[in-house]
Amino acid sequence: MAHTSHFVYEDCKLNTTKDVIIPQATSLSVDHRDTLGPKAPSTFISRREQKVTIAVLCALPLESDAVEGQLDEYYQTGSLPTKKVAGDINTYSRGRISGHQVVLVHLAGMGKSNAAIAAANCKASFPEINLALVVGICGGIPSYIGEDQREIVLGDVVVSEGLVPFDYGRQYPNKFAMKDNLVDILGKPPPAIRSLLHKLKGQNGRNYLTQRTCQYLGKVSHDLQRYAVYPGVDEDKLYEETYRHKHRSASSCRICTDDNDSVCETARSLSCETLQCSNDRLVHRTRLVQQGGLGPAIHFGLMASGDQVMKSGQHRNDIAERHNVIAFEMEGAGVWDTFSCIVIKGVCDYADSHKNKKWQRYAAATAAACMKALLDEWTMTS
């Protein structure tokens, strides 16, 4: 899956004297909050009479933290909705983003089931919602072929053009077999979303979306240097797809060094540094070498959605090649049939056995910044 061709992206550059993104473009003049947790502004704004038209769903606290960091206004709990329908077990936050009245849905946990339950309850309590955004983190395919060859690096953002339920299929004695034509199961996004994505995928639209994402990310990162920290190029490591995350010597572990290529449970929770995963097995990344400190690139494509956490480079590449997906996530399929939906997720790992949590907060921040940039454009289409 690795490519060494030259890639051209409209990335924002990083100020490499610090680990925090400070884009070269001038920051937008917006009323961001000082913290990513609930803010206590001097004057709370009640929005009981304004219709909520946008839902944002997040599975993890670090994802909702990043989204709340992009709110132009954060409303007190008392302004949540005039009445929540009986039986709605969701927990919500409310605010305004780019002129839209937004409800943030805090999922009970990860996965399709939690997302589906939350989406159904949200639709009952907020019937005026015309767009749902599933925002957070995902595992990325290292490289793919779209209109040209493209590399995905950690911190990039993937915007869904459709979802593939990769855990839908048949379990045989020796393997799990995914069904073919899975993209047809959930169907295409509705025309309004396809039209918006068509605009944003064009050269001008992509440049605009990337620039605005960098500006919004830079504003949050500058205010909250402890949160959206860019881990650095040296922490962006992609290993060969067959190189397992395991103990390397028999003295360390007999299970990991037998002839069956097994991996012990202890190794799964240890870092690459502890296991001494070899840098000689790293895959060359053209963007990291040529461009140094990177801001996020925006990618559009199919995303694999399911309840399984993908932690295998070989299975990742097999599914990507067969179904043309460019990322793996866990909640979108649960929301897809309830709302007109776009999944926006920052790439925090390469969906292989070497995955770790170093990039999660930064990836959540890039996704939230892209979400806000996209909502700037939704104003013109809704």
| pLDDT on residue 171 | 62
Residue 265 has pLDDT above 80, yes or no: no
| pLDDT on residue 46 | 52
| pLDDT on residue 210 | 96
| pLDDT on residue 262 | 75
Contact 92, 117 (CB under 8 A): no
37-53 mean pLDDT: 55
Q: Which of 11-20, 79-88, 214-223 has the lowest mean pLDDT?
A: 11-20
Residue 242 has pLDDT above 70, yes or no: yes
* 328 Cβ neighbours under 8 A, 6+ residues apart: 138, 139, 140, 166, 303, 304, 305, 306, 310, 316, 351
Residue 82 has pLDDT above 60, yes or no: no
- CA-CA distance, 38 to 267, in Å (whole number)? 38
Residue 200 has pLDDT above 80, yes or no: yes
Residue percentage of the chain with pLDDT more than 90:
50
Split at pLDDT 50, 70, 90, the class of 186 is: confident
Q: Which of 42-46, 110-114, 117-121, 253-257 has the lowest mean pLDDT?
A: 42-46
| pLDDT on residue 50 | 77
Q: What pLDDT, in 10s, does the model give residues 112-145?
A: 999 999 999 999 999 999 999 999 999 999 999 8
Residue 25 has pLDDT above 60, yes or no: no
Helix H or strand E segment including 268: helix 265-268
| pLDDT on residue 24 | 36
Residue percentage of the chain with pLDDT more than 70:
72
Q: Please report, for the chain, the start and end positions of each structural domain, with discontinuous segments joined by +.
A: 54-243+278-378, 244-277
| pLDDT on residue 11 | 54
* CATH class of segment(s) 54-243+278-378: alpha beta
* 162 Cβ neighbours under 8 A, 6+ residues apart: 183, 186, 188, 189, 302, 303
CA distances from 252 to 12, 258, 264, 285, 290 (A): 44, 12, 11, 31, 38
Residue 156 has pLDDT above 70, yes or no: yes
- The token duo for 158 is 């993937």
Split at pLDDT 50, 70, 90, the class of 43 is: very low
Residue 7 has pLDDT above 60, yes or no: no
Residue 13 has pLDDT above 50, yes or no: yes
Question: What angle (nearest 5°) sits at the alpha carbon of residue 274, between those of residues 268 and 277?
Answer: 80
- Measured in degrees and rounded to the nearest 5, phi and psi for residue 360 equal -65, -45
| pLDDT on residue 270 | 72
Contact 119, 332 (CB under 8 A): no
Contact 124, 135 (CB under 8 A): no
| pLDDT on residue 187 | 76
193-213 mean pLDDT: 95
Contact 92, 54 (CB under 8 A): no
Q: Which of 62-76, 167-181, 187-201, 328-342 has the lowest mean pLDDT?
A: 167-181
| pLDDT on residue 179 | 64
Q: What type of residue is 357?
A: K
Q: Which of 50-59, 191-200, 277-286, 299-308 has the lowest mean pLDDT?
A: 277-286
| pLDDT on residue 39 | 43
| pLDDT on residue 228 | 78
